Every structure is written in structure tokens, then in C-alpha cells.
Amino acid sequence: LQCIIIIDTSWKWGDVKMKTGGKRKSVYLSTENSEENEFNMSPKRKRSKTENNNSYKHDAEICMKMNLKEMGVGLLPTSDNEDEESDSETGVQLLSDRTDESSLDSLPLKSPTSHIKQADIVMITPPEQLLSYKSRRSVKNSCKLDIFSILSDEIVLMILQWLPRRTLSVCAMVCQRWRRVVYDESLWERIDLTNQVLRSDQVGYVLQRNPTILRMSQVEVVSPLFKDIASTMEDFLCHVQYLDLSMALISPKDLAELLGKCRDLKKLSLEHCITDTNVCLSIAANTELEVLNMSQCYQLDVAGLEEILVNCTELLELNLAWTKLDSDCIDVVCKLVNENIRQLNLSGCLKFMKDSHVKELVSRCSCITQLDLSDCTELTELSLEAISKHLCDIEQLSFSRCYNILPNKYVKLVNIKSLQYLNIFGLMHSDQLDTYRQTFRSVQINEQEFSTIARPTVGIRRTSIWGLRVRD
């Protein structure tokens, strides 16, 4: 690398060029007096011109030093002898012992402008110093000070909490301290794994972070659930309280093993999953369970359902819609379900649900506020009478497609003052619905086509489960 300065001695403005790829910078240089006819000048004008030349010379030196300092080169002190020697030669002097003839050919011996009579090309900084020059970026990168080592773990934790989960997993591989801080439970309170394919042991790694809210809806879990970390997961229990496994592709064995690691569940969704007896036993171990969604589950039998209802005495919301319950399962539900339950969905029981079941249910559980008995085709107006008699706090009632109940029999529900929503889809024409809307002025008819009982997500809210945010 070579730094070359071309000084035009016949003009007051010169060009400073950097052969290191820098831009051309115009620098004001002081030169000798021009060949202007001074005899025509007045003494006052000559004196002012001399003062201006001196000030120009002083300003030019300061400006030149500042510009050359910014470009990373040093200005050598000049002397009169050097100027005389450079003038006596061919107009070019190179102060470098290491420059060979090939390099002289590459130098611009001629001025880039035609009006320059004579130019001095001077090597300002030796090549050794130019090669050792470092840019500002390289100087910053060479700084080995770890800023995070000055900060406490609490401050670093506050910084890391703004990063997404994927970035946190990368930060855990920086060093042991970062791994310890990143694995703090406060950073993994909410985890969303929707639509992910989880290989063996990945679910175990997630559970070891002890999240409070875990969403695993529509995930595909590769069997076996625990492989390399099976020994460390034998006695491990996580602290998950809100778990969504709706429509997850997971084997019953792995599902039972996963739920077996949970003991503090409060809300659980297993919609469209296979729930055999072992899975039900794992669910029953969570005695503080309040909300359970088992809509459209398969292989649900009497023994498993009984274990859940006997042990989970805190249930307030239960969804058993379209689980193919037979008469024995319905009997277990009506006899063992929590008396203080608030919301219950038993739709899709078809011909197995009888009026006697409804009467026993509402007489025990008089605190029900939402009841869905849609598609129970064997129910009659006797069920309406039992509901109007026992459920004084009912707010939402669904009897869609219950074809054995005549349309004019729903008038018996007028006496329920707390009723706000009535769903009777597939039973009346639009004219009859208008008549009922006039009769039930304070009741909204057929406003909610789908039940929301115990469901983790409702409507377009896809970033939360049961009203709790799962994404940052």
C-alpha cells in the first residue's frame, strides 16, 4: 500500500489522492506568489494580499494535517533543502528504498490536469506503517472486553427476556454462564409449538424448562417420546398448568407418558386424540384440574371416565361432545360429575341420552350456566321442564337437532330469567324463528353455532389459550 500526495505548485488548490481506494479530497495548499503584475497594486492592497497569503498558509497547514490524520497518514516536516532537491530533479522524487522499477511504472508520473507545470510526488508514510494501519471496525472487533461479564445475572436475564425462544436456544450454546442464565424458568414460562414435528427427546427438553403455559396443538410427536434422556426423565415432574394438545398426532402410549409427567394441570385440551384407559389414569393424577376438553376423543371407556370424575373433583368445565358415549358412560357422568360444575357439553350422544339422564344431572348440578345437549335425538319436552325447574342460573342452552321436541314446546323456557342464548339450529324455519325472537325479547336465538365450552381457542384468537398469551 502506498500513499501519494500530488501537490500542484502553481495553483492554490491541490488534489490529495489515496491509492488505497479512498475518495479524492480537495485540500487548500499554500503556494508561492503567482506571477501577477504587482506594480499595478496599491500599497494597501499589497499589504492585505500578504496578510491573506500568510493566513492562507497557516489555515492550509492545519487543514492538511486534519485531513491527512483522518485518512490515517502522517505529514512529514518539509524543509527548503528538500524543495530545492525535488525541483532540481525531473519533477518526481520517491522516498522509499523498497520500491523497484516495476512500481515506478505504475505511479502517475504525469499530472491528471494539463495546466500543471510541475508536481512533487512524495511518499508520506512508509509501507510498514501503512500495512499496520487498522480501520475503526477492526479496532472495535479486536476489543476482547465482555460487556456481559460486568452485568449481573439479573440484568442479563432482563435483556434476554426480549428474545424469541429460537434465539434463546442459540444463546445457550455461547458459554456455561449464558447456558445457566438462559435456562432460567422465567424465560420459558410460555412455549408455543403449534404445527411442529417433534423428534424423540425434544418434548423432554421442553418439559425440563418447566413452562407454565404449553401449546402443542396439531403437533406430530415421533415415537418413542423419551429415548436418550429416558433415564433422566424417570422421576421428573414438570410444572405445566395449561396444556393444549388439540388434534396432536401422538400415540396413546406416548400421550399417557407425557401426561404422567404432569401433576399440576389446571386446564387441559385433548380434542381429537386417542384417550384409552392409561391416558385417563394419567389425567386423573391431576386432582386440581378445572377445565377438560375431550371433544371427539376416541376409545373413551367407562373405567377411564370414572377415574377422571372420581379424582378430578375441581372440574368446572367439561366437554365430552361426540365421544361416542354409551348409556353406561352417560350414567357415570350424571352420577359422578362435580356438583359445582359450570359448563357441560354432552352433545352428540344421539339415542343414548334419555330424559331420565337430564333430570338426574340437573337435579344434582344446579349451578350449570352453559349446557349443550345438541344432537341428542331421544330427548323430549320433559327435559325442558326439568331444566326450567332446576337450572335457575342457566345462561346458554343448546338443543340443536333434537327432533323429538316440538318447536312450540320451547315456550316453557320463557320463565328462565337468566337465559341469554338459545341455540335450536335445524328445527324451525325463518318465520318461526322471528316469532320466537319476539317472544324471547331478551334472549338471542341461534347466535352461536359452535360450542365454546372448555375449548382453548375461540374465534380468531390463535395466539392465546384460555385467554392466556402464548407468544411474545
Contact 307, 329 (CB under 8 A): no
Q: Please tell me the predicted confidence (pLDDT) of residue 144.
A: 63
Q: Tell whether the model's pLDDT for residue 5 goes beyond 80.
A: no
Banded pLDDT at 355 (limits 50, 70, 90): very high
Mean pLDDT of 399-414: 91
CATH superfamily of domain region 322-452? Ribonuclease Inhibitor (3.80.10.10)
Q: Tell whether the model's pLDDT for residue 246 goes beyond 50.
A: yes
Q: Tell me how far apart the terminal alpha carbons of the chain are, to the nearest angstrom.
A: 51
Q: What count of other Cβ atoms lies within 10 Å of the Cβ of residue 436?
A: 19
List the grid coordinates of 329: 358412560
Q: Please tell me the predicted confidence (pLDDT) of residue 431.
A: 87
Q: Tell whether the model's pLDDT for residue 125 goes beyond 80.
A: no
Q: Please tell me the predicted confidence (pLDDT) of residue 33.
A: 46
Q: Please tell me the predicted confidence (pLDDT) of residue 418.
A: 93
Mean pLDDT of 190-210: 93
Give the mean pLDDT of the chain.
79
Strand order from edge to edge, sheet including 3-8: 25-28, 13-18, 3-8, 119-123
Tell how strand 213-215 and strand 197-198 pair up.
Answer: unpaired
What would you measure as the largest C-alpha separation in the chain, in angstroms?
A: 130
Q: Please tell me the predicted confidence (pLDDT) of residue 54.
A: 58
Mean pLDDT of 98-123: 45
Q: Please tell me the predicted confidence (pLDDT) of residue 147.
A: 81
**459 Rama sector, left if φ>0, alpha if ψ -120 to 50, beta otherwise:** left
Q: Please tell me the predicted confidence (pLDDT) of residue 303.
A: 95
Mean pLDDT of 338-353: 96
Q: What is the pLDDT of residues 91-108, one digit of tens each?
A: 434 434 444 444 444 444
Task: Out of 62-66, 160-164, 180-184, 246-250, pick the least confident.
Answer: 62-66
Contact 334, 360 (CB under 8 A): yes
Q: Please tell me the predicted confidence (pLDDT) of residue 149.
A: 82
Banded pLDDT at 287 (limits 50, 70, 90): very high
Banded pLDDT at 61 (limits 50, 70, 90): low
Q: What is the pLDDT of residues 207-242, one digit of tens each?
A: 999 999 999 999 999 999 999 999 999 999 999 999
Q: Tell whether the model's pLDDT for residue 45 goes beyond 70.
A: no
CA 306 to CA 281: how far, in whole Å? 10
Q: What is the pLDDT of residues 447-459, one digit of tens each?
A: 888 899 999 998 7
Q: Please tell me the predicted confidence (pLDDT) of residue 71.
A: 53
Q: Of the candidates 75, 195, 189, which has an alpha carbon nearest to the alpha carbon of residue 129?
A: 75
CA atoms within 13 A on the CB side of 125: 20
- Tell me if the bond preceding 224 is cis, omega within 30° of 0: yes
CB-based contacts of 250, cutoff 8 Å, min separation 6: 219, 220, 221, 258, 273
Q: E-strand spans in 380-453?
A: 396-398, 421-423, 444-445
Q: Please tell me the predicted confidence (pLDDT) of residue 43.
A: 59
Residue 88 φ then ψ, to 5°: -75, -20
CA 351 to CA 331: how far, in whole Å? 14
Banded pLDDT at 369 (limits 50, 70, 90): very high
The more confident residue out of 50 and 432 is: 432
Q: What is the pLDDT of residues 149-176, one digit of tens each?
A: 888 888 988 998 888 888 888 888 888 9
Q: How far is CA 315 from CA 51, 199, 299, 309, 310, in A?
A: 98, 33, 21, 8, 10
Contact 6, 121 (CB under 8 A): yes
CATH class of 147-187: mainly alpha
Q: Tell whether the model's pLDDT for residue 27 goes beyond 60.
A: no
CATH 1.20.1280.50 residue window(s) in the chain: 147-187
Q: Please tell me the predicted confidence (pLDDT) of residue 146.
A: 75
The interaxial angle of helices 277-284 and 252-260, nearest 10 deg, is: 10
Tell how strand 119-123 and strand 3-8 pair up.
Answer: antiparallel
CA 163 to CA 165: how far, in whole Å? 7
Q: What is the pLDDT of residues 370-400, one digit of tens each?
A: 999 999 999 999 999 999 999 999 999 999 9
Which of 170-179, 357-366, 421-430: highest mean pLDDT? Answer: 357-366
List the grid coordinates of 61: 497547514
CATH 3.80.10.10 residue window(s) in the chain: 188-312+453-471, 322-452
CATH code: domain 188-312+453-471 is: 3.80.10.10
